[in-house]
Amino acid sequence: MKKLSPDTKILGTQQSISDFWAWGFSDLLMNSLRGIFSEFLVGSALGVLQTPRIEWDTHDLVYKDKKIEVKSAAYIQSWHAGKYSKINFGIEAKKSYNYTTNKYDADAVRHADIYVFCLLKEKDANQIDVLNMEQWHFYIVPTQTLNNLYSQQKRISLSSLEKISQPVLYHKMKESIDIII
């Protein structure tokens, strides 16, 4: 798979792929899209966006031969109705799909070496700006720490996460991951 250029024309139309992206993917607060955007943010901080994202891989990114899993949460969602979302992140061990055998592996494990938990922390619906890195916190945790402390858990709350990691800002993310590596 190759990366598409924003000016790639959609044959038979007057549209380009960037027109499609703007139309279909402008709501960055949408849960599924915010998660993908979070992966993009982490990938951009680490400089590993050379190849396109793989949807169903066992991890989201690779940096210095370490597999990175990115998780995202926000207090305010696209459908915000005045009540903040409870912040927690999925950390469940999963079986990976083996494309050679067309079967799932027997054991469920956490496949990444490092987890990056991305929190869009803004609580004012009138001020929220997904594109403003000052509104994000990033918590970086080695998978071994999760395995040691939360081996059977499927989710981790923000309060539990804050016991094992301090938030870092976007521009400090690479440095923080380098220290862990």
Q: What is the pTM of this model?
A: 0.92
Domain count for the chain, please give it.
1
pLDDT at 74: 96
User: Which residues make beta-bridge pairs with 66?
Assistant: 63
Q: What is the mean pLDDT of residues 6-24?
A: 94
In a domain, 61, yes or no: yes
Q: What is the CATH number of the domain that holds 59?
A: 3.40.210
In a domain, 155, yes or no: yes
Pick the closest to residue 167 from 127, 126, 124, 134 (CA basis). 134
Question: Phi, psi at residue 164, to the nearest 5°?
Answer: -120, -5
pLDDT at 103: 86
Q: What is the mean pLDDT of residues 7-33?
A: 93
In a domain, 8, yes or no: no
User: Which residues make beta-bridge pairs with 140?
Assistant: 116
Residue tagged 């409870």 (tokens): 86
Q: Which domain holds residue 148?
A: 17-180
In a domain, 86, yes or no: yes
Per-residue pLDDT of 24-34, as tens digits, reads 999 999 988 99
In a domain, 142, yes or no: yes
In a domain, 82, yes or no: yes
In a domain, 10, yes or no: no
User: Which residues make beta-bridge pairs with 165?
Assistant: none
Per-residue pLDDT of 49-78, as tens digits, reads 999 898 878 899 999 999 999 999 999 998
Rank 20-24, 37-41, 125-129 by mean pLDDT and report only the highest.
Answer: 37-41
Concatenate the DSSP letters of all residues of 12-45 into one string: TSS-BHHHHHHHHS--TTSHHHHHHHHHHHHHHH
In a domain, 154, yes or no: yes
